[in-house]
Chains A and B, each alone.
Chain A
């Protein structure tokens, strides 16, 4: 059951539904009655992506097709552009970071059309002692259905840092699987979702620690307003023998309206001894005392709320190592909250 297989066969019964435990909060089967026709090859010009200027090179997919690869270097943009209204598309891409190498992947999912259905599958191998930072910016149309799945295989001593930034879609799932070999490998797995109107975003992660002495640090923060729905499913599995694992998972969210919803399921499945694992999950409203304090100083209510929300998710932005990406993430948050300077 997956969107990818439904797109291949054209059979909507292949879509994940509420009956699949891992998809119960992100029901595609109930939403998509008919799959839209498959997207045509796109002949037009594609405008620059959000990370233009930060990357040494660019790998571009449009309407599910690989269009071009330009340049190369330690910072690469990977773009998936949906360019045609009411069509469907699937793409897959495999990436290898050679042992000892270092790569910053600035990945964008750009909805430049309306009401599309898109599936992207990434296969990523990070070699021994190599380092990958993956920044994922998902900018979908309000009526889009978007599933992005990444499977990340880490070598010994590898470092993998990820930050997902999303404003949601009609229905959206960003899923990341990390096979963690332990042995000094380090994972930072973060996300920010800022959702309004009827948008939906699901961040699902599965990290499997297979060896000793691996570190996973996970922090996702989000805000839902209006009738939006945020979903966080985080699972960390510590296999037998993966001793000295250090795994921390935090999910913290703000609900700014009665009709908005957050569904969160943090799970630690620990089958090893001598591990340090912890998770925290909080869902709440903004501190009204702080809102009043800001208003007393002359800041209008909406601006005060936006400022406090920006500060709330700012903790995740601060964890981004790459300067340019961090600044871009901060600007993205400000823009989502209507706080452009």
Chain B
């Protein structure tokens, strides 16, 4: 599914990713943990094609198809979805309008017909209800004035509406209260399937109690410095990153 090989990337001449190699097979959920500034968000941005990053070495592909040469919207149409660590506010564009525009753009890119308005609304109502999002909120400017937790919930709502192939969740748990964490996790788990993969970036083991990872990786100073099963997350929670930070430097 997702293959990252020896990926190097820099921002403004500053190397951030220094040889990331990672394989997420279809059907699996991999967690990435690591200290602040390790390059976790950078990895998610490079994979989704945000400007300002220069890939100096290495490759990244989804189902054998090179991602790095594609425009961000083309990657999205191929099924890459990034749940942002800090979702943007889009004043003047109601959430529903934004998402319908996105759904239809992706469909067009894949040569499919646009979704009819009634079918779209029905789906939106269903997904909003399952995420306990007040439907009225979807008529307001996307994320405008929403709390941190509401924005994260809105990311998962968009994800549910777009039903992507590969999910990257960048600290989706931060800012969520205990109930919201459960609701959001259920939303994510609903998308688990044999043909989907997920990369879950988090600082807290607690999220991984809800979204059970197949593998856990430690990213420190731009490299994957350790990989293991779910027990690695528990161990990190107990011991911190001390030994990896030293090892990576």
Contacts and interface: CB of A to CB of B under 8 A. Distances in A.
Interface of A: 287-290, 292-301, 303-304, 307-308, 310-312, 314-315
A294 B158 contact: no
Contacts of A312: 92
A310 B106 CA distance: 21
24 contacts: A287-B88, A292-B50, A292-B51, A293-B87, A293-B90, A294-B101, A294-B102, A295-B73, A296-B50, A296-B72, A296-B76, A296-B81, A297-B73, A297-B99, A297-B105, A298-B106, A299-B102, A300-B105, A301-B73, A304-B73, A307-B93, A308-B90, A310-B92, A311-B93
Contacts of A295: 49, 71-73, 76
A311 B102 CA distance: 16
B211 interface: no
Interface residues of B, number: 30
B77 interface: yes
B229 interface: no
B88 A297 contact: no
With most chain A CB atoms within 10 A of its CB, the pick from B73, B76, B162 is: B73
B84 interface: yes
A311 to B, nearest CB: 3
Nearest to B99: A297
B20 interface: no
Given A296-B48, A297-B76, A301-B73, A290 B90 contact: yes
B109 interface: yes
Contact of B76 (A287, A298, A311): A298
Contacts of B77: 298
Contacts of A292: 50-51, 72
Contacts of B82: 296
A282 to B, nearest CB: 14
Contacts of B102: 294, 297-299
Nearest to A289: B88
Contact of A294 (B49, B75, B90, B109): B90
B162 A297 contact: yes
With most chain B CB atoms within 10 A of its CB, the pick from A292, A301, A315 is: A292
Nearest first, the 9 closest Cβ-Cβ pairs linking A and B are A311-B92, A298-B76, A298-B106, A297-B102, A295-B72, A293-B88, A295-B73, A311-B93, A314-B92
Interface of B: 48-51, 71-73, 75-77, 81-82, 84, 87-88, 90-93, 98-99, 101-103, 105-106, 109, 141, 158, 162
A307 B88 CA distance: 15
A299 B93 contact: no
A290 B88 contact: yes
Given A308-B93, A311-B93, 15 more contacts: A290-B90, A292-B50, A293-B90, A295-B49, A295-B76, A296-B50, A296-B72, A296-B75, A297-B99, A297-B105, A298-B73, A298-B76, A300-B73, A311-B141, A314-B92
Nearest to B161: A297
A297 B98 contact: yes
B89 to A, nearest CB: 8
Contacts of A289: 88
B71 A293 contact: no
Contacts of A297: 73, 76, 81, 98-99, 102, 105, 158, 162
Contacts of A287: 88
With most chain A CB atoms within 10 A of its CB, the pick from B72, B84, B98, B109 is: B72
A303 B105 contact: yes
